[in-house]
Structures are given as structure tokens and as C-alpha cells.
């Protein structure tokens, strides 16, 4: 049984390793919020927490020996950000809306981008026990807040906001399409 300090260190390392890409996504969302007002910052934070909660729950269930989604199909979740990107790219004029405009779509993007989270969290939860798993989940909760603050700060630079205001109509949807394609490619190359 690892000590609380070891558990906290492991949890922080695992979260950081599996969520580096989320900083990019969150930064794009905060930039979009600053440039266009949607999604609201609270929706980004709540959506990120909801998405991470789903990933943790699926991992915990899988750690108990239940297979919710076969590993070979997890990459299909890449269709979520890809589809949101396509939808955002083809919206016209005043109907143009941000790619992820609410809590549910932000949570969906987080979950879709979380195949690596599930593949790492599941064996971790299976091996560390209930007490250490609860500490790990608490560390994850704190680090989601850190990720959101860091992404908000990264997305607050005036030059970057100006870029998104000028080219966000196509740039943000393309970023989401690339993220979706990378997730799906991971499924293909894993097999």
C-alpha cells in the first residue's frame, strides 16, 4: 500500500501525462470565450470537470472487471470533436457558433480525448486500492482546476485573442477536427 505522499505524487504524474493535450483544448475554448463570448468560462470549467468525472467513472468500472467499451472501439470517440469541428466549419454567417458551446459538448470533447486516460487510470485503480483511489480522484479534482486556470491564462494574451477573432471562424473548428482525427488514428495504429 503506497503512502499518501506517494499516492499524491503518482496521481499528479498520471494526470499530467494523460492531460497535457487538454491544456491545448481548454486554451482554445477560453480563447473562443474571450473572442466571441461563447462558451462561458463557467461552462468550460464545468464541462471539463464533467468529462474528467466520466473518464474516472469508466476507468473505475473497468478496473472492477467490467468492460464498458471494448478498447478497439474507444478511438471512435474521436468522431465527437471531429463532428463538432465539421459542424463549426460549415456554419454560415450569423449562424456561426463556437465548436463547443456548452457544458455537454465540452464534456464530450474531454471524454473523446480521454482514451489514454482510461487506458492509464484503469490499471492504476485496479492496483492501488480504494483508499489510494479516493486520494487519486481528489488530486485529479484539484489538477482540473489548475488546468483550467493555466488554460485561461494562456488564452488571455491579446495577440492570441486577436488571432482567434480574425480567423477563429475556421481555425477553432480545424483544431477540433485535427484532435478528432488524431484520436481515431490512435485507434487504427494501436491495432
DSSP codes of every residue in 64-97:
TT--SS-HHHHGGGGHHHHHHHHHHHH--GGG--
Q: Considering the chain, what percentage of its residues have pLDDT values greater than 90? A: 28
Residues 8-33 have a mean pLDDT of 87
CA distance 189 to 187: 6
How many Cα atoms are found within 13 Å in the side-chain-facing hemisphere of 134? 2
49 CB contacts (<8 Å, ≥6 apart)? Answer: 141, 144
Provide φ and ψ at 39, rounded to 5°: -75, 160
pLDDT at 172: 66
Angstrom distance (rounded) from CA 2 to CA 9:
10
- CB neighbourhood size of 45 (10 A): 23
DSSP 39: S
Q: Which residue has the higher pLDDT, 93 or 6?
A: 6
Q: Could you give the CA distance from residue 15 to residue 20 in angstroms, rounded to a whole number?
A: 8
Mean pLDDT, rounded, for 14-19:
86
User: What's the pLDDT at 99?
Assistant: 62
Q: What is the phi-psi region of residue 38: left when phi exceeds 0, alpha when psi lies from -120 to 50, beta otherwise?
A: beta
The predicted model scores a pTM of 0.73
- CB of 183 closer than 8 Å to CB of 75: yes
Residues with Cβ within 8 Å of 124's Cβ and at least 6 positions away in sequence, in order, are: 10, 14, 59, 63, 136
- Cell readout for 190 is 494501436
pLDDT tens digit sequence for 52-107: 999 999 989 887 865 455 656 656 666 766 777 787 778 765 444 456 678 998 99
Give residue-wise pLDDT tens across range 168-182.
667 767 776 776 676
Amino acid at each position: 500500500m503506497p503512502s499518501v505522499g506517494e499516492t499524491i505524487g503518482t496521481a499528479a504524474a498520471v494526470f499530467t501525462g494523460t492531460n497535457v493535450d487538454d491544456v491545448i483544448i481548454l486554451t482554445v475554448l477560453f480563447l473562443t470565450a474571450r473572442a466571441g463570448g461563447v462558451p462561458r468560462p463557467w461552462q468550460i470549467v464545468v464541462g471539463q470537470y464533467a468529462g474528467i468525472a466520466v473518464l474516472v467513472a469508466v476507468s473505475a468500472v473497468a478496473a472492477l472487471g467490467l468492460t464498458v467499451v471494448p478498447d478497439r472501439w474507444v478511438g471512435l470517440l474521436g468522431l465527437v470533436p471531429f463532428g463538432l469541428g465539421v459542424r463549426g466549419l460549415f456554419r454560415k454567417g450569423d449562424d456561426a457558433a463556437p465548436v463547443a458551446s456548452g457544458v455537454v459538448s465540452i464534456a464530450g470533447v474531454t471524454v473523446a480525448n480521454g482514451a489514454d486516460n482510461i487506458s492509464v487510470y484503469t490499471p492504476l485503480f485496479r492496483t492501488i486500492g480504494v483508499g489510494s483511489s479516493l486520494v487519486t480522484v481528489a488530486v485529479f479534482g484539484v489538477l482540473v482546476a489548475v488546468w483550467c486556470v493555466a488554460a485561461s491564462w494562456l488564452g488571455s494574451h491579446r495577440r492570441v485573442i486577436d488571432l482567434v477573432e480574425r480567423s477563429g471562424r475556421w481555425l477553432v473548428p480545424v483544431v477540433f477536427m485535427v484532435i478528432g482525427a488524431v484520436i481515431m488514428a490512435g485507434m487504427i495504429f494501436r491495432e
